[in-house]
Protein backbone atom coordinates (compact mmCIF):
# COMPACT_ATOMS: atom_id res chain seq x y z
CA UNK A 1 0.00 0.00 0.00
CA UNK A 2 1.36 3.44 -0.94
CA UNK A 3 1.78 6.31 1.49
CA UNK A 4 -1.27 8.36 0.29
CA UNK A 5 -3.95 5.73 1.08
CA UNK A 6 -2.40 5.12 4.51
CA UNK A 7 -2.55 8.76 5.31
CA UNK A 8 -6.17 8.91 4.15
CA UNK A 9 -7.16 5.94 6.33
CA UNK A 10 -5.46 7.44 9.39
CA UNK A 11 -7.15 10.74 8.77
CA UNK A 12 -10.60 9.10 8.45
CA UNK A 13 -10.03 7.05 11.61
CA UNK A 14 -8.93 10.08 13.61
CA UNK A 15 -11.69 12.38 12.37
CA UNK A 16 -14.51 9.81 12.37
CA UNK A 17 -13.41 7.89 15.44
CA UNK A 18 -16.88 7.94 16.98
CA UNK A 19 -18.60 6.70 13.84
CA UNK A 20 -16.02 3.97 13.31
CA UNK A 21 -16.46 2.93 16.93
CA UNK A 22 -20.22 2.59 16.47
CA UNK A 23 -19.71 0.60 13.28
CA UNK A 24 -17.28 -1.74 15.04
CA UNK A 25 -19.67 -2.10 18.00
CA UNK A 26 -22.51 -2.83 15.56
CA UNK A 27 -20.46 -5.52 13.84
CA UNK A 28 -19.57 -7.10 17.21
CA UNK A 29 -23.24 -7.03 18.29
CA UNK A 30 -24.31 -8.55 14.95
CA UNK A 31 -21.69 -11.29 15.27
CA UNK A 32 -22.79 -11.93 18.86
CA UNK A 33 -26.47 -12.08 17.88
CA UNK A 34 -25.66 -14.45 15.03
CA UNK A 35 -23.51 -16.67 17.26
CA UNK A 36 -25.90 -16.65 20.23
CA UNK A 37 -29.32 -16.58 18.54
CA UNK A 38 -29.45 -17.03 14.77
CA UNK A 39 -26.94 -19.89 14.36
CA UNK A 40 -28.35 -22.06 17.21
CA UNK A 41 -31.87 -21.41 15.92
CA UNK A 42 -30.76 -22.52 12.42
CA UNK A 43 -29.30 -25.71 13.91
CA UNK A 44 -32.55 -26.36 15.82
CA UNK A 45 -34.61 -25.88 12.63
CA UNK A 46 -32.39 -28.28 10.68
CA UNK A 47 -32.57 -30.80 13.52
CA UNK A 48 -36.37 -30.45 13.60
CA UNK A 49 -36.50 -31.05 9.83
CA UNK A 50 -34.37 -34.17 10.20
CA UNK A 51 -36.55 -35.46 13.04
CA UNK A 52 -39.72 -34.77 11.01
CA UNK A 53 -38.25 -36.60 8.01
CA UNK A 54 -37.23 -39.58 10.19
CA UNK A 55 -40.68 -39.62 11.84
CA UNK A 56 -42.37 -39.59 8.41
CA UNK A 57 -40.16 -42.49 7.26
CA UNK A 58 -40.90 -44.45 10.46
CA UNK A 59 -44.62 -43.74 10.12
CA UNK A 60 -44.65 -45.06 6.55
CA UNK A 61 -42.72 -48.17 7.63
CA UNK A 62 -45.18 -48.70 10.49
CA UNK A 63 -48.10 -48.37 8.06
CA UNK A 64 -46.55 -50.94 5.75
CA UNK A 65 -45.92 -53.35 8.65
CA UNK A 66 -49.49 -52.83 9.85
CA UNK A 67 -50.85 -53.56 6.36
CA UNK A 68 -48.69 -56.69 6.07
CA UNK A 69 -49.89 -57.88 9.50
CA UNK A 70 -53.52 -57.23 8.50
CA UNK A 71 -53.10 -59.18 5.27
CA UNK A 72 -51.41 -62.04 7.12
CA UNK A 73 -54.27 -62.13 9.64
CA UNK A 74 -56.86 -62.04 6.84
CA UNK A 75 -55.02 -64.84 5.02
CA UNK A 76 -54.83 -66.93 8.18
CA UNK A 77 -58.54 -66.42 8.91
CA UNK A 78 -59.44 -67.28 5.31
CA UNK A 79 -57.28 -70.42 5.42
CA UNK A 80 -58.86 -71.51 8.72
CA UNK A 81 -62.34 -70.96 7.28
CA UNK A 82 -61.49 -72.94 4.13
CA UNK A 83 -60.01 -75.73 6.25
CA UNK A 84 -63.19 -75.89 8.37
CA UNK A 85 -65.28 -75.98 5.18
CA UNK A 86 -63.07 -78.76 3.80
CA UNK A 87 -63.46 -80.77 7.02
CA UNK A 88 -67.25 -80.33 7.10
CA UNK A 89 -68.14 -80.66 3.42
CA UNK A 90 -65.48 -82.90 1.86
CA UNK A 91 -64.27 -85.30 4.53
CA UNK A 92 -66.61 -88.07 5.71
CA UNK A 93 -67.81 -88.23 9.30
CA UNK A 94 -66.59 -91.14 11.42
CA UNK A 95 -64.93 -94.42 10.51
CA UNK A 96 -68.17 -95.97 9.25
CA UNK A 97 -68.75 -93.01 6.93
CA UNK A 98 -65.18 -93.21 5.62
CA UNK A 99 -65.42 -96.98 4.97
CA UNK A 100 -68.81 -96.67 3.35
CA UNK A 101 -67.78 -93.81 1.11
CA UNK A 102 -64.34 -95.14 0.20
CA UNK A 103 -64.97 -98.85 -0.28
CA UNK A 104 -68.33 -98.37 -1.99
CA UNK A 105 -66.89 -95.72 -4.30
CA UNK A 106 -63.84 -97.83 -5.20
CA UNK A 107 -65.97 -100.91 -5.85
CA UNK A 108 -68.26 -98.89 -8.15
CA UNK A 109 -65.26 -97.44 -10.00
CA UNK A 110 -63.76 -100.91 -10.45
CA UNK A 111 -67.08 -102.19 -11.90
CA UNK A 112 -67.35 -99.14 -14.18
CA UNK A 113 -63.88 -99.84 -15.60
CA UNK A 114 -64.33 -103.61 -16.05
CA UNK A 115 -61.84 -104.54 -13.32
CA UNK A 116 -62.17 -107.62 -11.12
CA UNK A 117 -61.60 -106.99 -7.43
CA UNK A 118 -59.61 -109.89 -5.98
CA UNK A 119 -59.48 -108.54 -2.44
CA UNK A 120 -59.69 -105.36 -0.41
CA UNK A 121 -58.95 -104.34 3.17
CA UNK A 122 -59.02 -101.19 5.25
CA UNK A 123 -57.17 -100.12 8.39
CA UNK A 124 -57.93 -97.04 10.50
CA UNK A 125 -55.04 -95.00 11.83
CA UNK A 126 -55.52 -92.12 14.25
CA UNK A 127 -53.06 -89.78 15.94
CA UNK A 128 -53.92 -88.90 19.54
CA UNK A 129 -53.73 -85.12 19.16
CA UNK A 130 -55.48 -84.80 15.79
CA UNK A 131 -59.19 -84.24 15.13
CA UNK A 132 -58.78 -86.24 11.93
CA UNK A 133 -58.09 -89.92 11.43
CA UNK A 134 -56.81 -91.77 8.39
CA UNK A 135 -58.31 -94.79 6.73
CA UNK A 136 -55.79 -96.82 4.74
CA UNK A 137 -57.23 -99.02 2.01
CA UNK A 138 -55.46 -101.74 0.04
CA UNK A 139 -56.94 -103.37 -3.03
CA UNK A 140 -55.93 -106.07 -5.48
CA UNK A 141 -57.57 -105.79 -8.91
CA UNK A 142 -57.05 -107.35 -12.28
CA UNK A 143 -57.98 -106.28 -15.79
CA UNK A 144 -56.74 -104.74 -19.00
CA UNK A 145 -53.99 -102.15 -18.80
CA UNK A 146 -56.08 -99.40 -20.41
CA UNK A 147 -58.93 -100.05 -17.94
CA UNK A 148 -56.47 -99.85 -15.03
CA UNK A 149 -55.20 -96.50 -16.34
CA UNK A 150 -58.74 -95.16 -16.64
CA UNK A 151 -59.55 -96.47 -13.14
CA UNK A 152 -56.53 -94.66 -11.62
CA UNK A 153 -57.44 -91.47 -13.48
CA UNK A 154 -61.00 -91.71 -12.13
CA UNK A 155 -59.66 -91.99 -8.56
CA UNK A 156 -57.40 -88.97 -9.03
CA UNK A 157 -60.24 -86.82 -10.38
CA UNK A 158 -62.95 -88.08 -8.00
CA UNK A 159 -64.66 -85.50 -5.78
CA UNK A 160 -63.91 -87.66 -2.73
CA UNK A 161 -60.63 -86.95 -0.94
CA UNK A 162 -58.56 -90.00 -1.89
CA UNK A 163 -54.75 -90.06 -1.84
CA UNK A 164 -52.94 -92.79 -3.76
CA UNK A 165 -50.01 -93.96 -1.62
CA UNK A 166 -48.65 -96.80 -3.73
CA UNK A 167 -49.27 -98.49 -7.08
CA UNK A 168 -47.78 -101.86 -7.98
CA UNK A 169 -48.58 -103.17 -11.45
CA UNK A 170 -47.60 -106.67 -12.50
CA UNK A 171 -48.44 -109.26 -15.15
CA UNK A 172 -51.11 -111.75 -14.24
CA UNK A 173 -50.24 -115.41 -13.83
CA UNK A 174 -51.34 -118.05 -16.32
CA UNK A 175 -54.88 -118.20 -14.95
CA UNK A 176 -55.44 -114.42 -14.93
CA UNK A 177 -55.98 -112.26 -17.95
CA UNK A 178 -54.36 -108.88 -18.29
CA UNK A 179 -52.58 -106.98 -15.52
CA UNK A 180 -52.74 -107.15 -11.74
CA UNK A 181 -52.94 -103.89 -9.82
CA UNK A 182 -52.07 -103.64 -6.15
CA UNK A 183 -53.26 -100.29 -4.93
CA UNK A 184 -52.80 -98.62 -1.55
CA UNK A 185 -54.57 -95.38 -0.84
CA UNK A 186 -55.71 -93.24 2.08
CA UNK A 187 -58.54 -90.98 2.98
CA UNK A 188 -59.18 -88.89 6.07
CA UNK A 189 -62.29 -88.51 8.13
CA UNK A 190 -63.56 -86.48 11.05
CA UNK A 191 -63.34 -88.44 14.24
CA UNK A 192 -66.84 -89.04 15.62
CA UNK A 193 -65.56 -89.12 19.23
CA UNK A 194 -64.21 -85.60 18.92
CA UNK A 195 -67.39 -84.36 17.25
CA UNK A 196 -69.62 -85.85 19.94
CA UNK A 197 -67.36 -84.53 22.67
CA UNK A 198 -67.42 -81.06 21.11
CA UNK A 199 -71.23 -81.03 20.96
CA UNK A 200 -71.62 -81.78 24.66
Helix (H) or strand (E) holding 53: helix 39-89
Taking only the tens of pLDDT, the chain with its 200 residues reads 566 777 766 766 666 667 767 777 777 877 777 777 777 778 787 888 888 888 888 888 888 888 888 888 888 888 778 777 766 767 777 888 888 878 888 888 999 999 988 888 888 887 677 778 888 999 999 999 999 999 999 998 888 888 889 999 888 665 556 789 999 998 888 876 544 433 33
Tell me how far apart the alpha carbons of residues 140 and 53 are, in angstroms, rounded to a whole number. Answer: 73
Structure pTM?
A: 0.54
Nearest partner of 185 among 114, 90, 104, 121, judged by Cα: 121
Closest to 106 in 3D by CA, of 156, 145, 180, 146: 156
> What is the Cα–Cα distance from 75 to 59, expressed in whole angstroms?
24
Amino acid sequence: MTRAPRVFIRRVLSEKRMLVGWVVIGLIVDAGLYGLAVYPWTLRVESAHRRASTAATNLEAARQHSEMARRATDGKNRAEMELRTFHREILPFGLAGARSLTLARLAALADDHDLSMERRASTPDRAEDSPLARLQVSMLLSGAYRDIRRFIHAIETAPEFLVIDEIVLSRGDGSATGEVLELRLSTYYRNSDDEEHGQR
